[in-house]
Structure 1
Amino acid sequence: MTLFDPTLLLCAFGFFSSLRPFEPFITAFLLGPDKNLTETQVVNEIFPVWTYSYLALLFPVFLATDFLRYKPLLVLQAGSLLVTYVLLWKARGLLATQLLEFTFGLATASEVAYYSYIYSVVEPVRYKRVTGLCRGATLLGSAAGSLMGQLLFSVAQVPLLHLAFITLASAAVAFITAWFLPMPKRSLFFHTSPSTAALSSSSPSEQMKESKEAMIPRSPEARKGGSRLLGVLTMLFEDFVQCYKCRPLLAWSVWWALSTCGYFQIINYTQALWEDIHPSGKLTIYNGYVETLATLLGVVAALLVGYLPVSWSTWGELALSLLSCLMAVCVFVMDTLRNIWVCYGCYILFRAVYMLLITMATFQIAASLSMQRYALVFGVNTFGALLLQTLLTLVVVDSAGLGLDIHTQFLVYAAYFTAIAVVFLIAWLCGVVSKRISKKEEPSLEVQELSCSPDGTSCM
């Protein structure tokens, strides 16, 4: 592996773009003397901008990612992070800080290019290995950044603004790294080759079928340059309908969208809850240690998925219900007991449970799909999560809506996860009842089959 090998460069990009020592302290910084914003401004007027911008930019960025063949969007992602932290350093006042959240939303939306890029520059036999390496690099960068930030802040007593400078430097390294990545010659939708689509089928015949299905254009009008976008959109819609006809895939996707919506809300606003319970201006905070531990335990939980002796096809919906209930309990306890150590512990458990389930959902969804369709399903699920999060933010958080205080918000989020648990418990019970009814009807179906004429054209 050479210095400029795409895999090595991708891992370096993922590590440095995720190395953000400042991130565990963003709320404390905005509420502190450097920015001197109020809690209402930060929670109800600034943070919601990230949600709105992420939703608005996700679909156009998704299409641009494929059309421009990934690399330009990786440069855009790192460049947006650079602009975000420059604004964090220089910005003063509400409007400038809201602009900062918009640029961070652009950086977040551009992350879709990172994993998509992998499948355009490496051979199919290396997909699993390279995906694992890149995933590990981003998680390692996130954990290392949180630990570094906490040690510099609490041990070396480095000012929070200096942590922003270190994060800015890390984003600059990622930005430079992105320029050395080779430009792919193909993509999943706009620029395809026969090898692009044959990614995850279980047999050679299925690989050949997927390869034929995934080649663009699929229809005559899509062959015309001016109608290429229309052809891709038509193909995406056809694949969307085909994918979501599968009930198990639909169930895991619904949980994915619902839970990711709530997960985003928790990780976005939990620092505000901690700040209210344990003010950083008066007491020592340990947000960096907590984020590091939460990330590492999340990795362990994700790795455990492959070793759990559970028939997910049979017990999956019940597991989703019970563990969603556990997540609801974590959020409720964080809010009601108002003890910072209890908050830290519940937050770590909450993230570990989510990582366990989202990894299982990823495996269950990806197992029966080509990489092209998996990219579509992943995008649709994420878009659904963001749409729900936008509605939840608009109603619960935004000052234009109810503008609830942080403790009332967390009560709403606890109720939200409880509702998810109830939905999937009902779904599991309906599935059990349906299977029992089917078993009772099997004898009568066999009798009908035996009474058919030998040529099968009529039944008695």
Structure 2
Amino acid sequence: MGCWKQEKISTWAFPTLILCLYGFFYMMKPSEPFLTPYLTGPDKNLTTDEVTNQIFPVWTYSYLALLFPVFLLTDYVRYKPVVLLQGISLIVTWLLLLFAHGVVAMQLVEFFYGMVTATEVAYYAYIYSVVSSQHYQRVTSYCRSVTLVAATCGAVLGQLLVSLAGVSYFHLNAISLASVSLAFVCALFLPMPQRSMFFHRKDAPEPVPGPGKELPAATAPRPQSCQEERSPDAAARALSPQPRAGSAGPHRHLLSVLLQLGRDLRHCYGSRKLLCWSLWWALATAGFNQVVNYVQVLWDFRAPSHSSAVYNGAVEAIATFLGSATSMAVGYVKINWDVSGELALGIFSALDSGSLLLMHFTDNIWACYAGYLAFKACYMLLITIATFQIAVNLSMERYALMFGFNNFVALVIQTILTVVVVDSSGLGLDISTQFLIYGSYFTVITAIFLIRSMYTIISIKCRNTSVAAESTAP
């Protein structure tokens, strides 16, 4: 009995350990908070306009273009090859950052980093193919905790090395290259899954928790950097509906899957409540990703790195901690979200809007830092509430589908924002004006949900008054 139990533990403990090691080294990149100062400094000698309008937009475009094909490839090749592809993409990204020069080379960096973020799906989907469902919550919490700790450690380490040891940004990138190389080595030791959720299913898949049972930690959002805020694991599971028995041939099987996806989407978005939360999710996540992607450019504009002390690493570390704290605080707040949820979306979106407008109008770098901290904390609070509200109303397959589709819509909106506002082929606005646009964008979100919340509250009061009048009538 003891040997059998030990064998059962080892079947999930070893891949979990390797995956956690991979996640730690993959996220422990001390150079990431200092990317813009590095690109605009003497190492690369690029202008702020080149970085903002020509280089950074490539990441958004490549991520959107690669997202769906990578989802299918991930399941078809059973995860591990895509994890290895992510490791290779990371190494290529940092090799180019270290040794390549020019706008085209840095655009290639952004393309490969788009590959990195698109292949994040494999990291979180892998574990569900090698462990049984009773371990999902524990294993997912381990993987996410490790990536959160690693992101914080990387930011703190980078800040300490820059501020106290005077380490150059080039050497920070060399440390990041070493870290992602170790991640790739760890990935080599991952066991190859024998099944997947779509193309290589077993005839009798293990049961998953249904409505009313405890939800796995996969439903909780990650409070961390922009690349980490995009929920790839949920999107991966969205592509894994239960196929019907008796499907003949891959084409009929794929068609049945697509039809089932369409039916599930109609069911999910047929609820006004879920549609409302999903609308905020997509709109706010698009704006959040855009802000996180370009905030370093604004900081460098307010306090040029060649003449000012840079505290990007410290700010990112504090923002990660605040995001984690606000997400955790949601679990202790007792509110009727059916009544007050939309009001909360409106109020905290207003705080987001105010933070971004502050970052536009102020010339003080410390005010910019404070605005970013408030912005990220408010977003992480709301995305946690939205995640919970959607998850508790759907089965596992359907909330996974909804999460994935919401994030895809957010990426489409983000791409539109990039094309119109940032890209040199569009308006190509300067970075300060961009944040005026982003602040105005969140003002529109605020108006939508404050108006909706007033309508909801008035409707509930009128309905209660009507019921009370009927109950007292003779």
State the TM-score, normalizing by the size of structure 2: 0.87
Deviates more, 1:310-319 or 1:182-191: 182-191
Alignment-derived partner of residue 66 in structure 2: 57
Q: 1:201 aligns with which of 204, 211, 218?
A: 211
Deviation of residue 217 (structure 1)? 2.8
RMSD: 2.3
The answer on 1:85 being equivalent to 2:110 is no
Letter paired with 2:47:
T
Q: Is the 8 A contact 2:132 2:206 kept in 1?
A: no
**Superposed, which structure 2 residues align to 1:51-130 within 5 Å?**
51-130=60-139
Cα distance between partner residues in 2 of 1:256 and 1:196: 31
Alignment-derived partner of residue 233 in structure 1: 258
Alignment-derived partner of residue 456 in structure 2: 431
Deviation of residue 201 (structure 1)? 2.8
Letter paired with 2:57:
P
Deviation of residue 37 (structure 1)? 0.7
Deviation of residue 266 (structure 1)? 0.8
Q: 2:56 aligns with which of 47, 53, 56?
A: 47
Alignment-derived partner of residue 410 in structure 2: 385
The answer on 1:364 being equivalent to 2:364 is no
The answer on 1:185 being equivalent to 2:211 is no
Q: Which has the larger radius of gyration?
A: 1
Deviation of residue 257 (structure 1)? 0.8
Deviation of residue 203 (structure 1)? 5.8
The answer on 1:242 being equivalent to 2:251 is no
The answer on 1:421 being equivalent to 2:431 is no
Letter paired with 1:121:
V
Q: 1:309 aligns with which of 334, 358, 373?
A: 334
Aligned-pair identity (%): 51
The answer on 1:22 being equivalent to 2:22 is no
Deviation of residue 440 (structure 1)? 5.9
Deviation of residue 53 (structure 1)? 0.8
Alignment-derived partner of residue 36 in structure 1: 45
Cα distance between partner residues in 2 of 1:264 and 1:30: 20
State the TM-score, normalizing by the size of structure 1: 0.90
Aligned residues: 437
Cα distance between partner residues in 2 of 1:64 and 1:229: 14
Alignment-derived partner of residue 141 in structure 1: 150
Q: 1:143-175: CA deviations, max 9, x gaps?
A: 000111111112111111111111111111111
Cα distance between partner residues in 2 of 1:298 and 1:53: 27
Letter paired with 1:319:
A
Consecutive unaligned residues of structure 1, counting only runs of 5 or more, are: 205-213, 447-460
Consecutive unaligned residues of structure 2, counting only runs of 5 or more, are: 1-8, 215-239
Deviation of residue 183 (structure 1)? 2.3
Alignment-derived partner of residue 453 in structure 1: none
Pair 330,50 (structure 1): closer, same or farther in 2 beyond 3 Å: same
The answer on 1:338 being equivalent to 2:348 is no
Q: 2:244 aligns with which of 183, 203, 218?
A: 218
Letter paired with 1:128:
Q
Deviation of residue 397 (structure 1)? 0.6
Cα distance between partner residues in 1 of 2:464 and 2:125: 43
Deviation of residue 13 (structure 1)? 1.6
Q: Is the 8 A contact 2:159 2:314 kept in 1?
A: yes
Cα distance between partner residues in 1 of 2:459 and 2:198: 39
Letter paired with 1:6:
P
Q: 2:345 aligns with which of 320, 327, 330?
A: 320
Pair 183,243 (structure 1): closer, same or farther in 2 beyond 3 Å: farther
Letter paired with 1:280:
S
Deviates more, 1:240-249 or 1:265-274: 240-249
Cα distance between partner residues in 2 of 1:236 and 1:135: 27
Deviation of residue 444 (structure 1)? 10
Cα distance between partner residues in 1 of 2:429 and 2:386: 32
Cα distance between partner residues in 1 of 2:59 and 2:144: 24
Pair 114,361 (structure 1): closer, same or farther in 2 beyond 3 Å: farther
Pair 215,336 (structure 1): closer, same or farther in 2 beyond 3 Å: closer
Letter paired with 1:283:
S
Q: 1:76-95: CA deviations, max 9, x gaps?
A: 22221111111111221111
Deviation of residue 4 (structure 1)? 6.6
Deviation of residue 313 (structure 1)? 2.1
The answer on 1:282 being equivalent to 2:324 is no
Q: Secondary structure at the match of 1:332?
A: helix
Letter paired with 1:13:
Y
Q: 1:167 aligns with which of 169, 176, 185?
A: 176
Pair 442,218 (structure 1): closer, same or farther in 2 beyond 3 Å: farther
Letter paired with 1:114:
Y
Deviation of residue 427 (structure 1)? 1.5
